Amino acid sequence: MQNKLQELTDKLYNEGLAKGKQDAEDLLAKAREEAARIVEDAKVQAAKIISNAVKQAEDIQTRTEGDIKMASTQTLAALRQQISQMVEARAIGSKVDDALADKAFVGKLIATVAGAFKADGAAAPLEVILPEDMKAKLQEFLASNIDKELSKTLSFGFSDSFAGGFRIAPKDGGYYLDFTDESFRDLLGEYLRPATNKILFG
């Protein structure tokens, strides 16, 4: 009886131990599988993060290169424009200033422009605006050198908003024609710019 009880106890113990070992091995196998799955997921996530980081870095590099290229193109264009304007200013500036400081030239120009306003042979009433600092020099000259018929329809005003040339407008207003130093420089610059750019930049 004692032996049978001992056998039964040993059998239960061995079966329990075997079952415990089996359960432990099952748990260990499951833990290993879970660990392998976690490692694999981590590798996939790491690969995605690296791929996204590489793509973002490439995008930033592409955008940066594009920005640098655009900035350099704009800077080069601005520099070319400044050089062209400096050359034009030197070529045109003093000659325009000299011509518009010549009383005889300005007087002929005013007479020619004012004469073009004649309607049915009669001169139109016009206002001529001259530079303020040329008032003394031009007023007397114009009064004595412009055609008597034309001078009856002309009135003269002065402005400090420009340094040379003149503006002319019908007395009823509405518009004026600009023959100032600045407008002459702009006009001549428009004609010279293509040739200047070709000479300077090919």
CB contact at 8 A, 113 and 81: no
Provide the 3-class DSSP secondary structure of residue 119. Answer: strand
Distances (CA, A) of 147 to 104, 122, 123, 143, 171: 13, 13, 11, 9, 19
Provide the 3-class DSSP secondary structure of residue 176. Answer: coil
CA atoms in the 13 A half-sphere facing the CB of 163? 10
Residue the block writes with tokens 């032996």? 3
Kindly report the pTM of this predicted structure.
0.54
Closest by CA to 107, choosing from 140, 135, 132, 141, is 141
CB contact at 8 A, 147 and 111: yes
Q: Write the pLDDT tens digit of every residue in 89-135.
A: 777 777 888 888 787 888 888 888 887 876 666 667 888 888 887 77
- Which pLDDT belongs to residue 119? 60
Integer Cα distance of 87 and 55 in angstroms: 48
- Which pLDDT belongs to residue 69? 92
Domains identified in the chain and CATH numbers: 93-201 (3.30.2320.30)
